[in-house]
Structure 1
């Protein structure tokens, strides 16, 4: 369905996590920020907000690639041909009957979409695994004191991979809950409870966001490590 510009690769609809989640559609592609051409947005039928129109080629290509993934995911899962717009808070504006999330990093973009009757919120995030030295410097900003104790072994053995995982999971949690609560929260307001070899994990809120989303509430999450990237997903069931 989607017409792709030269800066974008073919679409990939493979499911990257070990755990299947019903009624979700993931679409991904690779993109090249140096191959963006004048008129690509117009040819693809994608409207860019003023902030993107004024941006450098990297930001423009990221936005275009992410919206192309989102539009294809909407079409395949719900038969919707529209593309999500952008709100004043820069979050995607999804059609009424669905929820979704978009992510991009280092030449790769993806979007996941589901029906609102099945999912209340979705959070998708991809991160390039950071160097160990950088991870050790950032650990106190991303991990709570409890997390530093709980995952001391992982931080000693694979600090870059583990801290990237914690960062990505918390980003996915924010993306899933912000549309439901309209409350911003930060790394210290959630903690990683556990991670498992099968790519499943558990997150716990450490702050009250709303009457439904209170401190100590826990959610499942999923992650995978592919080609030096961590890809995480939080899916809040309806």
Structure 2
């Protein structure tokens, strides 16, 4: 368990993050959580349990006592009243980020291995202009797997979108552009969003990083400011 979470580097100070690079044995789940994963394979049980351990440690930072974090209809974590958050897990990494509802409007995080995705997957999640931009980034700013970053950013977009709308969002329902120098991205929504903080939701701003063999993306919108809804 990290004393300072890797993903905290792309989050605001009010977001409490806990992560780990390995699964932890003997994580105690609440009965309802154990029931949810009782028929899952061992690998899935381990990542679920470790992610819940991260979630409870993150909530502890807010003064929230341990309690179940069950998946909802779309698999989204159902946080206790007064808590807003997001969970991610991929090979070799688990993380949870939370904020109090007084401070956080929505949070979406994602982590992926820093390696390319297949052409078929890229075409399924992106539009031609996004693929062209990814190719330019790969030529001009080699380093991270830009195609995987695109996938990760769209995962974070969905995780930030769903708590606000309770609606599905396809990969092709938002276009993402990256700033390779500032480590930011902007997702422009191609569908009608809800009214947020008195105006229509048209997109999300977020941050990204590549480190420890991972690419990570995060969107964190404060309930006190709509900055993350603006293009950076």
* TM bracket (short chain): 0.7 to 0.9
| Partner-residue secondary structure (3-state), 2:150 | helix
- 8 Å CA contact 2:105–2:222 kept in 1: the answer is yes
Distance across 1 between alignment mates of 2:40 and 2:203 = 38
**Which of 177, 194, 200 is the aligned partner of 2:178?**
194
- Structure 1 residues not aligned, in runs of 5+: 1-9
> Separation in 1 of the partners of 2:219 and 2:193?
17
The residue aligned with 2:229 is none
Partner residue in 2 for 1:114: 99
Contact 2:184/2:206 (<8 A) preserved:
yes
Give TM-score scaled by structure 2 length.
0.83
One of 187, 211, 216 as aligned partner of 1:203 = 187
Asked if 1:220 is matched to 2:205, the reply is yes
Q: Deviations over 1:5-28 (max 9, x none)?
A: xxxxx3443354555513111000
**1:1-238 counterparts in 2 under 5 A?**
10-16=1-7, 18=9, 21-32=12-23, 36=25, 40-41=26-27, 44-47=28-31, 48-131=33-116, 134-156=117-139, 158=142, 161-212=145-196, 217-238=202-223
CA contact (8 A) 1:23 1:114 kept: yes
Distance 1:20 1:214, change over 3 A: closer
Root-mean-square deviation over aligned CA pairs: 2.5
* Deviation for aligned residue 1:118: 1.6
Give the deviation of 1:194 after TM superposition: 2.8
Moved more, 85-94 or 101-110: 85-94
Where 1:53 maps in the other structure, the secondary structure is coil
Q: Partner residue of 1:4?
A: none
Contact 1:67–1:84 under 8 Å retained in 2? yes
Deviation at 1:120, TM superposition (A): 1.1
State the secondary structure of the residue aligned to 1:175: helix
Distance (Å, rounded) in 2 between the aligned partners of 1:20 and 1:236: 10
Alpha-carbon distance change, 116 to 188 in structure 1, aligned in 2, over 3 angstroms: same
Which residue of structure 1 aligns with residue 230 of structure 2? none
CA distance in 1, matches of 2:121, 2:56: 35
CA deviation map 1:185-215 (0-9, x unaligned): 1111011123232322211111114344857
Summarize the Cα distance change of 1:233–1:50 in structure 2 as closer, same or farther, 3 Å threshold: same
Return the TM-score normalized by structure 1: 0.81
